[in-house]
């Protein structure tokens, strides 16, 4: 699997699809979507196989409704690590930190220092914003 495909090529789960439908429902309730648009988006979300397809189905939905980090969704770092076929211990050794720290960073329970954040991003050939960026607020 190519590295640059990132999260988009990963398979979405039923929980992810349900989450997307919930976001679409919220957008419909807030009059952000017309009824025919809502139906079309929901149909697309329910048939989405990957995160990229799911993202297409929820395009235009504001970030607060369409949360970037969904329950059950692997963090970007965990997804990249999986794409690279690395274990937590191997990534920890490559980054020069402990396995426990990698786990906590992936779970969002520890925010690394800037140097470590840059090390992680450069290791995967990405930017810091890809891994630790805040979602845009109120952007439709």
Partner 1 sequence: MMTFLPLRLRKPAMYSLAGLLFAGAWLAHGGRLWWVSVPALIGTVAIAARLYRLGGTDTDEGARAGSRADERQQLVSMRSRALACNLAAVTSFIGLTAAIALRAPWWWPFLVTLLITGYGYLFGLGSFGVAEEGTPDDADTESPTQFPVGS
Of 24 and 102, which has the nearer Cβ to partner 1? 102
Binder to partner 1 among 41, 48, 112, 124 (CB under 8 A)? 112
Cα-based distances in Å from 122 to 5, 12, 82, 108: 16, 26, 17, 19
**Which of 8-16, 53-61, 75-83, 109-117 is the region at the interface with partner 1 (rule: CB under 8 A)?**
109-117
Cβ neighbours for 120, distance < 8 A, ≥ 6 positions apart: 77, 95, 105, 112, 131
Q: Which is nearer to partner 1, 42 or 92 (CB)?
A: 92
Residue list 82-101, contact with partner 1 (CB under 8 A):
89, 96-101
At 50 the three-state DSSP class reads strand
Task: Select the residue interacting with partner 1 from 46, 65, 86, 104 (CB under 8 A).
Answer: 104
* The Cα angle at residue 63 between residues 61 and 135, in degrees rounded to 5: 150
- Given a contact cutoff of 8 angstroms between Cβ atoms, the answer to whether 65 and 23 are in contact is yes
Contact call for residue 118 and partner 1 (CB under 8 A): no
Could you list the residues that contact partner 1 (CB under 8 A)?
Answer: 89, 96-101, 104, 110, 112-113, 116
């Amino acid at each position: 699997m190519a590295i640059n495909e990132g999260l988009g090529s990963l398979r979405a789960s039923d929980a992810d699809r349900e989450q997307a439908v919930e976001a679409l429902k919220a957008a419909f309730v807030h009059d952000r979507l017309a009824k025919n648009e809502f139906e079309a988006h929901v149909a697309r979300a329910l048939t989405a196989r990957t995160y990229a397809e799911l993202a297409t189905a929820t395009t235009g939905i504001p970030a607060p409704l369409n949360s970037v980090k969904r329950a059950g969704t692997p963090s970007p770092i965990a997804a990249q690590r999986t794409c690279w076929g690395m274990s937590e211990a191997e990534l920890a050794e490559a980054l020069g930190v402990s396995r426990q720290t990698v786990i906590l960073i992936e779970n969002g329970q520890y925010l690394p220092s800037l140097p470590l954040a840059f090390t992680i991003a450069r290791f995967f050939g990405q930017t810091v914003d890809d891994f630790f960026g805040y979602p845009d607020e109120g952007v439709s």
